[in-house]
């Protein structure tokens, strides 16, 4: 495990300036409270502070090894009392012998050096405790950040899995309907069956091509919807009418892929399939800096809309919108007179990413 002091320039600078501050404080105390000469005070402060902060770098590895989560608190405390005592003694007598050699002829300082060992020991213990506490905080912060990253990655994986599951439930539903229609047309009208196979091939090619892209432009999505409607027009002929009122500015806006097709499928299923009259499917789109609003509506014969299937398509779209935009108010279904309308609101993805 990398030492946060040695591996991070910012941490190293903070550690270095902390050592300088402690050394200056040490010098001031010796000079003004104990009356030692400036040169002696400076040497004492420099030697003891340098030794302590060099040993302090190594304390990180001990803190990493003695994880509180791996052992009980009293065992960790006992380990620190032993190892901390050894480190402080090394620091204490290492500094003593260095300074004793530097100022061998200064009787007064040597006497002071000897009688100061007890309070230096207490001072060393306090600094050791502070360093250990800081290291534990840094270690827990690092672990906390790693857990946040892991949770974010896990949430993303879960989200992608849910989205893929929801999309995989929609595609077979349409595919089965199309294959059944092709099966019916093979005998009745082989040419139409061939046209339908070609359109279905284009539709599935789009599905495969966009499977790895969560968002596509509205133009791409509408082109694919047109492919779907061409398939259905082969089945129902003039009973399907299509009207579009789409602002040009809407076409390049991004929306989740395969998000519209289930609503057109429902319009065919509940409108065209249940009625002998022509059904008009109207698509309208407006856009602002904040939202893209798409309305898909169709007329229906009274009573036909009440025939409910499992509702997989619409429910999946609601779930996908919730997963993608973190809002549950983006899909609104309205039924008035003999008109069924779905209004979808797509927040501007750029605004979401900025926030």
pLDDT given for residue 192 in this prediction: 81
Same domain, yes or no: 344 and 278: yes
Q: Give 197's contacts (C-beta < 8 A, 6+ positions apart).
A: 182
294, 260 contact by CB (below 8 A): yes
Q: Are strands 254-256 and 215-217 parallel, antiparallel or unpaired?
A: antiparallel
- Position 353 confidence tier, pLDDT thresholds 50, 70, 90: low
- Where do we find the tokens 């429910």? 315
For 288, other C-beta atoms within 10 Å of its C-beta total 9
CATH number of the domain bearing residue 321? 3.30.565.10
Total number of domains in the chain: 2
Q: How far apart are alpha carbons 272 and 264 in whole angstroms?
A: 11
Name the more confident of 307 and 265: 265
pLDDT band for position 7 (cuts 50, 70, 90): confident
Are 216 and 267 in the same domain?
yes
Contact 170, 261 (CB under 8 A): yes
Classify residue 171: in a domain, yes or no.
no
d(CA 56, CA 46): 15
Cβ pair 290, 348 in contact under 8 A: yes
Q: What contacts 352, CB < 8 A, 6 or more positions away?
A: 325
pLDDT digits (tens, 9 = 90+) for 74-87: 777 777 788 888 88
Alpha carbons 243 and 107: distance in angstroms, whole number: 104
Domain annotation covers residue 29: yes
- Residues 313 and 316: their CA atoms lie apart, in Å, by 5
Clarify whether residues 60 and 141 are in a common domain.
Answer: yes
Query: Looking at the structure, do residues 248 and 346 belong to the same domain, yes or no?
Result: yes
Domain identity same for 347 and 250: yes
Polymer length in residues for the chain: 355
146 confidence band (pLDDT: 50, 70, 90): confident
The Cα 333–Cα 336 span in angstroms is: 10
Angle at CA of residue 114, ends 108 and 116, nearest 5°: 100
pLDDT at 69: 55
Within a domain: 218: yes
Q: Are residues 139 and 205 in the same domain?
A: no
Tell me the average pLDDT across 247-272: 86
> Do 70 and 123 share a domain, yes or no?
yes
With respect to residue 156, please indicate whether it lies within any of the assigned structural domains.
no
Contacts of 332 (CB under 8 A, 6+ apart): 342, 343, 344, 345
Please tell me whether residues 43 and 113 are part of one structural domain: yes
What integer pLDDT is reported at residue 294 of this predicted model? 95
How much is the pLDDT for 351?
Answer: 58
* Residues 131 and 244 reside in one and the same domain: no
**Average pLDDT in the chain:** 81
The pTM assigned to this predicted structure is: 0.52
Residue 17 belongs to some domain of the structure = yes
* Residue 284: strand, helix, or coil: strand
Give the span between the Cα atoms of 187 and 264, in whole angstroms: 27
Rounded Cα distance between 234 and 238, Å, is: 9
Residues 197, 257 within the same domain: yes
- Taking residues 310-320, what's their average pLDDT? 71
Q: Are residues 203 and 131 in the same domain?
A: no
pLDDT at 310: 46
Listed residues 130, 150, 170: the one ending a domain: 150
Confidence of residue 178 (pLDDT cuts 50, 70, 90): confident
183 is a domain residue: no
CB atoms within 10 A of CB 341: 16
Mean pLDDT of the region 10-34: 89
**Residue 282 tokens, joined:** 């109207």
Structural domain including 212 reads: 189-354
pLDDT(44) > 80: yes
**Residue 170 is assigned to a structural domain of this protein:** no
Res. 165 pLDDT band, cuts 50 70 90: low
Of 150, 170, 202, the residue that ends a domain is 150
Of the chain, the percentage scoring pLDDT greater than 90 comes to 16
pLDDT of residue 171: 54
In angstroms, the CA 245 to CA 283 distance is 6
The reply to whether 181 falls in a domain is no
Q: Do 203 and 140 reside in the same domain of the chain?
A: no
What's the average model confidence in pLDDT over 99-110? 86
Which is higher by pLDDT, 354 or 205?
Answer: 205
- Sheet arrangement for strand 240-246: 240-246, 279-287, 291-299, 339-347, 331-336
Q: In 3-state terms, the chain is what percent helix, strand and coil (to 5)? A: 70, 15, 15
What are the residues whose beta carbons fall under 8 Å from the beta carbon of 157, sequence distance 6 or more? none
Torsion angle, CA of 34/36/42/46, rounded to 10 degrees?
-50
Instruction: Place 327 in a pLDDT band, splitting at 50, 70 and 90.
Output: confident
Mean per-residue pLDDT for 85-101? 88
* Residues 185-214: tens digit of each pLDDT: 788 778 888 888 888 888 777 766 665 567
Contacts of 144 (CB under 8 A, 6+ apart): none
Alpha carbon distance 173, 209 (integer Å)? 19
**What average pLDDT score do residues 334-353 get?**
82
Which is more confident, 147 or 75?
A: 147
Asked whether the predicted pLDDT for residue 350 surpasses 70, the reply is no
């Amino acid at each position: 495990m990398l030492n946060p002091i040695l591996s991070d320039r910012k941490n190293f600078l903070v550690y270095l300036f902390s050592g300088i501050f402690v050394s200056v404080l040490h010098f001031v105390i010796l000079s003004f409270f104990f009356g030692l000469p400036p040169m002696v005070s400076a040497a004492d402060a420099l030697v003891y502070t340098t030794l302590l902060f060099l040993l302090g770098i190594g304390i990180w590895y001990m803190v990493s090894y003695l994880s509180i989560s791996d052992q009980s608190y009293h065992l960790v405390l006992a380990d620190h009392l032993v190892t901390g005592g050894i480190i402080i003694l090394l620091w204490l007598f290492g500094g003593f012998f260095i300074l004793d050699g530097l100022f061998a002829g200064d009787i007064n300082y040597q006497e002071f050096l000897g009688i100061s060992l007890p309070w230096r020991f207490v001072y060393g213990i306090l600094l050791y405790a502070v360093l250990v506490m800081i290291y534990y905080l840094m270690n827990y912060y690092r672990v906390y950040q790693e857990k946040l990253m892991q949770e974010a990655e896990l949430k993303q994986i879960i989200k992608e899995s849910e989205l893929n599951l929801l999309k995989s439930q929609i595609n077979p539903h349409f595919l089965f309907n199309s294959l059944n229609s092709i099966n019916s047309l093979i005998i009745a009208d082989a040419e139409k069956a061939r046209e339908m196979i070609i359109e279905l091939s284009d539709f599935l090619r789009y599905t495969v091509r966009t499977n790895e892209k969560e968002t596509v432009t509205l133009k791409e999505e509408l082109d694919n919807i047109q492919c779907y409607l061409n398939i259905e027009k082969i089945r129902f002929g003039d009973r399907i009418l299509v009207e579009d009122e789409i602002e040009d500015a809407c076409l390049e806006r991004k929306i989740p892929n395969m998000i519209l097709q289930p609503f057109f499928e429902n319009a065919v299923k509940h409108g065209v399939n249940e009625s002998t009259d022509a059904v008009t499917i109207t698509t309208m789109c407006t856009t602002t800096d904040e939202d893209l609003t798409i309305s898909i509506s169709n007329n229906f014969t009274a009573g036909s809309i009440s025939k409910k299937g499992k509702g997989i398509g619409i429910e999946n779209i609601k779930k996908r919108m919730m997963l993608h935009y973190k809002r549950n108010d983006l899909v609104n279904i309205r039924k008035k007179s003999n008109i069924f309308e779905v209004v979808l609101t797509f927040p501007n993805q750029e605004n979401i990413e900025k926030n």
